[in-house]
């Protein structure tokens, strides 16, 4: 059973339990043990709150997935341009800067931030270092092209940061949901104990109305 189905099952059982516990025939018997309408509504409301938390998690995760798709698309666009530009730079520099022209080795095995850092080195050099700038200009690799690529790299870096924040937000929301779920299950467990005492084994039908299994 998936985590979502498991949680949905728990919430369904708790909703059934707390709503039926508010019925007059059961409420009359458990009130003497401190369970009034207000206390039972706390369980109903907590159940609803958790459903809201689940919807919120799904919404934020949807944002994360959409952003991840945009990141992949932008990264492909940047990488395709970089492959062309590094070849032009190699031809233009003709071994004058070996370190700069070794950048693309094993690029597919590097993290996004490592790729951004190494690609930025090339475009910064084309933009700022006069000798490299002049050599690359001869092959139509201009500082303007470098600036556009740097802007895209900056955009990609920001998108990665935004995704990281969304992932942190999702973790926090899941943690809050789990705490609320634990509280809800404890409330249900405590009330089951009271219901067994208040109703007794003779009130088998009322216990079953709460979803409590009564041994035959």
Q: What is the pLDDT of residues 40-82, one digit of tens each?
A: 999 999 999 999 999 999 999 999 999 999 999 999 999 999 9
Which residues, other chains included, contact 50 with Cβ-Cβ below 8 Å and sequence gap of 6+?
Answer: 7, 11, 177, 180, 181, 184
Q: Which residue has the higher pLDDT, 1 or 178?
A: 178
pLDDT at 165 over 90: yes
Is 195 in contact with 210 (CB distance < 8 Å)?
yes
Q: What's the chain's Rg over C-alpha atoms?
A: 31
Please, where are the H alpha helices in the chain? Answer: 3-21, 24-30, 37-93, 98-101, 112-128, 130-137, 143-199, 204-209
Is 132 in contact with 125 (CB distance < 8 Å)?
yes
Q: Cβ-count burial of 49 within 10 angstroms (0-12 exposed, 13-18 middle, 19+ buried)?
A: middle
Q: Where are the domains of the chain?
A: 3-209
Is 35 in contact with 194 (CB distance < 8 Å)?
yes
pLDDT at 176 over 80: yes
pLDDT at 214 over 60: yes
Answer whether 0.85 is exceeded by the pTM: no
CATH of domain 3-209: 1.20.58
């Amino acid at each position: 059973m998936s985590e979502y189905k498991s949680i949905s099952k728990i919430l369904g059982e708790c909703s059934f339990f707390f709503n039926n516990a508010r019925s007059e025939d059961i409420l009359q018997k458990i009130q003497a043990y401190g369970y009034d309408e207000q206390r039972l509504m706390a369980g109903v409301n907590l159940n609803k709150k958790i459903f809201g938390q689940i919807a919120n998690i799904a919404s934020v995760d949807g944002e994360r997935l959409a952003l991840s798709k945009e990141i992949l698309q932008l990264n492909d666009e940047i990488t395709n341009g970089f492959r062309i530009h590094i070849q032009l730079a190699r031809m233009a520099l003709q071994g004058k800067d070996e370190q700069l022209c070794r950048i693309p080795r094993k690029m597919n095995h590097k993290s996004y931030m490592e790729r951004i850092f190494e690609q930025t080195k090339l475009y910064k050099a084309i933009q700022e270092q006069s000798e490299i700038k002049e050599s690359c200009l001869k092959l139509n690799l201009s500082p303007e092209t470098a600036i556009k690529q740097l802007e895209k790299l900056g955009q990609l870096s920001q998108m990665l940061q935004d995704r990281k924040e969304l992932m942190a937000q999702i973790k926090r929301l899941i943690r809050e949901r789990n705490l609320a779920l634990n509280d809800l299950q404890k409330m249900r467990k405590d009330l089951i104990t009271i219901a067994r005492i208040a109703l007794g084994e003779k009130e088998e039908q009322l216990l079953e109305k709460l979803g409590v299994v009564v041994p035959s």
